[in-house]
Amino acid sequence: MPPEVASVSTPSSDPLHQNLQAWFGFSQFRPGQEPVIRALTEGRSAAAIFPTGSGKSLCYQMAALQLPHLTLVVSPLLALMQDQLDYLHSRNIPAAAIDSGRSADDIRQTMQDAREGRLKILMVSVERLKNERFRQFLGNVNLSLLVIDEAHCISEWGHNFRPDYLKLPAYAREFAIPQVLLLTATATPKVISDMQSRFGIEDRDVICTGFYRNNLDLSVLSIMPEERDRELIQWLAPRRYQSSVVYVTQQKTAETLANTLRDNGINAVAYHAGMNSEERDAIQRSFMSGQHRCIVATIAFGMGIDKSDIRSVVHYDLPKSVENYSQEIGRAGRDGQPSQCLVLGNRDNIHVLENFVYGDTPSLDSIRLVLQAVREAGNHWEILLTPLSNTTDIRQLPLKTLLVYLELEGIIKPLYSYFAEYRLQYRLQPAELEQQFSGERQQFVRALLRSVRMARTWGTLDIDDFCRRYQGADRSRVIRALDYFQEQGWIVLESKQMTEVYGVLNNHFILNDLAARLHQLFVQKEQAEIQRIHDMIALFESEECLSHQLAEWFGDHNAPLHCGHCSACRGTSVAFPRRPLHPAPEQINIPALLAPLEERLGHPANTETRVRFLCGLPTPLLGKNRARSLPGWAALEQWPYQKVQAQVLGQFG
């Protein structure tokens, strides 16, 4: 049985319930599902704010089958798309996904099926909407509904803000998509209001079902780090034949802890983003099938995991926020059966969490470099994200956020994106391909193919260069031609090096003033993220009912004041232990720790680079210089960022 709905025997003569029975094999909706689906089928947009595992997916699946045209689902994770696709296919519902893991033939067939009306649901990542070939495809397809999964990513006040999500309202207008459905499990009232306003959703169509889960037992244990392994082994031992997830912050912890658990008779396996996709997929499948009972994972694991019988979720390290905690424990007990959630709490990991937040804030100098590039660009600014990130030493996510801030400041405006390079491989010889056309079209195709620079089996095409040389050619015509060749099976086509093109609306800004203002926006965001961590600590250390506080955080005022199944209700509220800094400040020789880095760089590093090296926070500059391999890397990762900064300034001046 899928998690979306629960089966009951009560029949209904209502057509919506009849369709539910016919299409999905169930006769009753879960709370909130029916009003969301009715809003969509009556032509309105809606938002479904349901806890993890409460059936958000059924809302769009059911609506899509009743709407006349294609439903486009934007999802942040490939695993989420694949799980939902597998379920839809099991119900014989025509659905597909386009992602980087699929072959050119698969993608071509999916687009053809969509154009010819054979698909009802198409799933993509938000980044796919920047692809010019995909955008041309969408412009020729009738769309009924845009579904945005993990919709809290739209809001800067959400716990997982993604700059590309800010463009979704504009995409909905551009492709004339008449309705939108927003789905999330972790939105506070402020985030819900932000989401709602961006898409003009009426109050009556924002459906929140509450966040209280009466089958989850929530425990917080105050414990020193060196005691966690022993405590975890004792806690998991009687549960070794049940499915468990243990969350950690860092990849190396996932590996070492999984080894420790296996050595103590617990069938555990590590999972983190440092593994290749094939390895992660294999581990996920083994966990889903029950081959491995315990998975020790970073937060790279979990979103979209449709396993209903996870009996335990343990936070070996503290989660990043209240929202993350809610999302992660929400993976336990999705079948409604009693499940345990345990936090092994101490303050040692807090500095690591905070330092990652500080590490994402671009320096003032780095922001100036971006603004200088805008000023020198003229009316059009073309960027490749990776080179710009390396040049300015800003990690890619905050760099994307900076570009959004520049849009909001009226400095730049996104025009379009294109691939800087197209590669093709012939399945039909060029001379034969030319003969498929006549007249001016044949001349165009001949000139196009002769512009392809062939290597052994693959050729590359510089579209802009071709358009400059061939009268009457433009990018859209060339891309339509290449797509047609691929659809006919005459070529295999690949594209790479996504180039973003912005119009520069104002390059007369006062550079230092604007840089300072933008830097302050990042500082404010940084402070908000730090506050999230402290709000989470306050939740765990509170003497009030954990379940009640968690529900209140998300605006659910209907949870009981005393749930009876949390550590606070059992009278075991905690205060996380503190201990002195290690190593002690008087033992630190900052110049000696930094000497290997500065020798490799060939010059003195600036303060931000020095602090991030000592805290073990990766940046493009440190990555390019393989700083992880140097002595001194992460030597002070257990220190607060600001204390490391003070030590650096104190010893270097």
Q: What is the 3-state secondary structure (H, E, C) of 237-281?
A: HHHCCCEEEEECCCHHHHHHHHHHHHHCCCCEEEECCCCCHHHHH
Q: What is the pLDDT of residues 421-439, one digit of tens each?
A: 788 999 999 999 999 999 9
CA dist 138 → 86, 143, 416 (Å): 24, 8, 14
Report whether pLDDT(253) > 90. Answer: yes
Q: pLDDT band for position 2 (50/70/90)?
A: very low
**Of the ranges 51-60, 130-139, 143-152, 520-529, which is most confident?**
143-152
Percentage of the chain exceeding pLDDT 70 = 96
Predicted pLDDT of residue 78 = 63
Predicted pLDDT of residue 80 = 66
Mean per-residue pLDDT, 608-623: 94
Handedness of CA 482, 488, 492, 493 (dihedral sign): positive
Predicted pLDDT of residue 645 = 92
Q: pLDDT band for position 113 (50/70/90)?
A: very high
Predicted pLDDT of residue 79 = 61
Residue 428 phi, psi dihedral angles, 5° rounding: -120, 130
Predicted pLDDT of residue 604 = 93
List the strands of the sheet with 243-247, edge to edge.
216-222, 339-345, 310-315, 243-247, 294-297, 268-271
Q: pLDDT band for position 277 (50/70/90)?
A: confident
Predicted pLDDT of residue 3 = 37
Mean per-residue pLDDT, 531-545: 93
Mean per-residue pLDDT, 253-263: 96
Q: pLDDT band for position 4 (50/70/90)?
A: very low
What pTM was computed for the model? Answer: 0.78
DSSP string, 474-521: -HHHHHHHHHHHHHTTSEEEEEEEEEEEEEES---S-HHHHHHHHHHH
Q: Which of 90, 33, 87, 85 is nearest to 62 (CA)?
A: 33
Q: pLDDT band for position 144 (50/70/90)?
A: very high
The three state secondary structure string of 289-334 is: HCCCCEEEECCCCCCCCCCCCEEEEEECCCCCCHHHHHHHHCCCCC
Tell me which residue has tokens 């499940």.
339
Report whether pLDDT(531) > 50. Answer: yes
Report whether pLDDT(1) > 60. Answer: no
Mean per-residue pLDDT, 414-422: 78
For the range 129-133, what are the long-range contacts, defined as Cβ-Cβ under 8 Å and sequence gap of 24 or more?
A: 129/74, 129/164, 129/167, 129/168, 129/171, 130/164, 130/417, 130/498, 130/500, 131/417, 131/419, 131/495, 131/498, 132/416, 132/417, 132/418, 132/419, 132/475, 132/479, 133/479, 133/483, 133/495
Report whether pLDDT(65) > 90. Answer: yes
Domains of the chain from N-terminus onward? 15-208 (3.40.50.300), 417-503 (3.30.70), 585-652 (no CATH)
Q: What is the pLDDT of residues 204-240, one digit of tens each?
A: 999 999 889 999 999 999 998 899 999 999 999 999 9
SS3 59: helix
Mean per-residue pLDDT, 252-265: 96
Q: pLDDT band for position 5 (50/70/90)?
A: very low
408 versus 141: the higher-pLDDT residue is 141
Percentage of the chain exceeding pLDDT 90 = 60
Least reliable range by pLDDT among 25-34, 153-162, 320-329, 342-351: 153-162
**Of the ranges 47-51, 369-373, 521-525, 638-642, which is most confident?**
369-373
Tokens linked to 278: 């094939």
496 versus 151: the higher-pLDDT residue is 151
Predicted pLDDT of residue 464 = 83
Least reliable range by pLDDT among 182-186, 198-202, 277-281: 277-281
Predicted pLDDT of residue 99 = 83
Quote the Cα angle for 213-216-218, to 5°: 115
Predicted pLDDT of residue 87 = 85
CA–CA gap between residue 442 and residue 436 (Å, rounded): 8
List the strands of the sheet with 179-184, edge to edge.
95-97, 121-124, 70-74, 143-148, 179-184, 46-49, 206-208
Q: What is the pLDDT of residues 237-250, one digit of tens each?
A: 999 999 999 999 88
**Of the ranges 16-25, 114-123, 156-165, 276-285, which is most confident?**
114-123
pLDDT averaged over every residue in the chain: 89
CB 32 within 8 A of CB 204: no
599 versus 474: the higher-pLDDT residue is 599
